């Protein structure tokens, strides 16, 4: 388990620890099986090529899962991910690195809960944001 | 400009709801989902370690609900053949989902809109899916946008 982050330790602009992923076609097959999304563009290269794609592509939902992992790591076992939103802006292919990143936009207390709003995104090896989003996390307070 | 596909008649499908589907959450399914993402967090993988936390045991990772097989109401657009794209999702989380939970999954059509993009008219369908446990506590709500063009 990663070290617990406390609400007092973050400020607007604080970086969320990034999460690097190197998805393979094997991972896409595993994700298809685990999620039940068997759309062939994610594991059948011929099918993908016939659909005007450059090859098989990552499930948007898998990228959502990666960003969820970054945020539950950030929340730690004493925090709680309250909200997670993602919009897919570009395709990603297996065999190429993707990196989840984010930063804190705002911190506040609401009904006694210590919250932070974050901007999050996933970028490809060229640094292009292929998924953008936002998240709200409750963090423990030393207060 | 008038919409090509999203007429008043089509918009009457907003609010259409699926029958509730009840799914029992298996511990192995949670582990397999976490493994597929490549997420080693003990909360999602290791009952012994998770038991020592404030959750008192394993819980499901944030997007696990996708594996529960929500039945999405079929929106009729009169589009003929179309392509589909996953636009994205917004999730709100209220309670953890645990192994052995019986989750009731209900989807409804929350919105149908149209806009024209470089690929021609595009229809955005927002599906809201709620996940409620056996104690009638809402665990999560998912709002996903599918695009047809």
* Stretch A119-143: mean pLDDT: 97
pLDDT value at residue B1 = 57
CA-based nearest residue to B69, from B137, B124, B18, B35: B18
Average pLDDT, chain B: 94
**C-alpha span between A74 and A116 (Å, rounded):** 11
Three-class SS of residue A41?
A: helix
A121 touches chain B (CB under 8 A): no
Q: Is the pLDDT of residue B87 over 70?
A: yes
pLDDT value at residue B49 = 96
Taking contacts as CB-CB distances below 8 angstroms, the residues of chain B near A82 are 92-93
Q: What is the pLDDT of residues A48-79, one digit of tens each?
A: 999 999 999 999 999 999 999 999 999 999 99
Beta carbons of B62 and A30 less than 8 Å apart: no
* Stretch A125-130: mean pLDDT: 98
* Stretch A23-48: mean pLDDT: 96
B124 touches chain A (CB under 8 A): no
CA-based nearest residue to B58, from B72, B70, B44, B73: B44
Q: What is the ipTM of this complex?
A: 0.96
- Provide the shortest C-alpha distance from residue B93 to chain A (in Å): 5
The shortest CB-CB distance from B42 to any of A1, A64, A71 is to: A1
B47 touches chain A (CB under 8 A): no
A47 touches chain B (CB under 8 A): no
A22 touches chain B (CB under 8 A): no
Q: Is A100 within 8 Å of A66 (Cβ atoms)?
A: yes
A96 touches chain B (CB under 8 A): no
Beta carbons of A72 and B67 less than 8 Å apart: no
Beta carbons of B61 and A71 less than 8 Å apart: no
Q: Tell me the CA distances in angstroms from A132 to A32, A99, A142, B37, one per residue in order.
A: 22, 12, 31, 18
Beta carbons of B67 and A34 less than 8 Å apart: yes
Q: Which residues contact A91 (CB under 8 A, 6 or more apart)?
A: A53, A54, A57, A58, A130
Q: Which residue has the tokens 């007429």?
A: B7
B32 touches chain A (CB under 8 A): yes
Q: Quick one: three-class SS letters along chain B?
A: CCCCCCCHHHHCCCCCECCCEEEECCHHHHHHHHHHHCCCCHHHHCHHHHHCCCCCCCCCCCCHHHHHCCCCCCCCCCCCCCCEEEEEEEEEECCCCCCCCEEEEEEEEEEEEEEEECCEEEEEEEEEEEEECCCCCEEEEEEEEEEEC
Q: What is the dihedral of CA B132, B127, B39, A78, to 10 degrees?
A: -50
pLDDT value at residue A1 = 55
Q: Which residues pair with A90 in a beta bridge?
A: none
Beta carbons of A68 and B61 less than 8 Å apart: yes
B16 half-sphere exposure, CB direction, 13 A CA radius: 17
A83 touches chain B (CB under 8 A): yes
Burial class from Cβ neighbours inside 10 Å (0-12, 13-18, 19+) for residue B19 reads: exposed
Taking contacts as CB-CB distances below 8 angstroms, the residues of chain B near A73 are 41
pLDDT value at residue A88 = 97
The shortest CB-CB distance from B36 to any of A1, A30, A77 is to: A30
């Amino acid at each position: 388990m990663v070290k617990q982050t406390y609400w007092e330790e973050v400020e607007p602009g604080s970086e969320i620890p990034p999460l690097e992923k190197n998805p393979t076609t094997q991972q896409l097959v595993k994700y298809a099986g685990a999620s039940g999304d068997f759309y062939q563009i994610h594991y059948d290269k011929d099918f993908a090529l016939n659909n005007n794609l450059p090859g098989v592509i990552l499930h948007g939902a898998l990228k959502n899962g990666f960003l969820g992992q970054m945020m539950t790591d950030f929340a730690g076992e004493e925090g709680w991910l309250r909200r997670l939103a993602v919009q897919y802006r570009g395709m990603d292919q297996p065999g190429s690195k993707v990196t989840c990143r984010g930063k804190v936009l705002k911190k506040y207390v609401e009904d006694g809960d210590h919250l932070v709003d974050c901007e999050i995104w996933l970028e490809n090896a060229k640094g292009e944001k292929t998924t953008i989003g936002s998240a709200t996390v409750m963090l423990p307070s030393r207060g | 400009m008038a919409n090509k596909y999203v007429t008043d008649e089509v918009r009457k499908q907003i609010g259409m709801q699926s029958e509730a589907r009840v799914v029992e959450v298996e511990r192995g399914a949670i582990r397999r989902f976490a493994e597929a993402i490549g997420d080693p967090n003990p909360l999602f993988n290791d009952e012994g370690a998770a038991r020592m936390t404030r959750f008192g045991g394993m819980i499901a990772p944030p997007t696990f609900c996708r594996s529960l097989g929500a039945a999405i109401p079929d929106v009729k657009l009169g589009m003929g053949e179309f392509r589909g794209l996953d636009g994205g999702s917004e999730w709100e989380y209220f309670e953890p989902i645990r192994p052995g939970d019986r989750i009731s999954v209900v989807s409804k059509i929350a919105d149908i809109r149209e806009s024209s993009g470089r690929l021609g008219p595009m229809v955005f369908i927002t599906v809201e899916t709620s996940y409620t446990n056996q104690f009638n506590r809402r665990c999560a709500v998912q709002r996903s946008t599918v695009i047809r063009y």
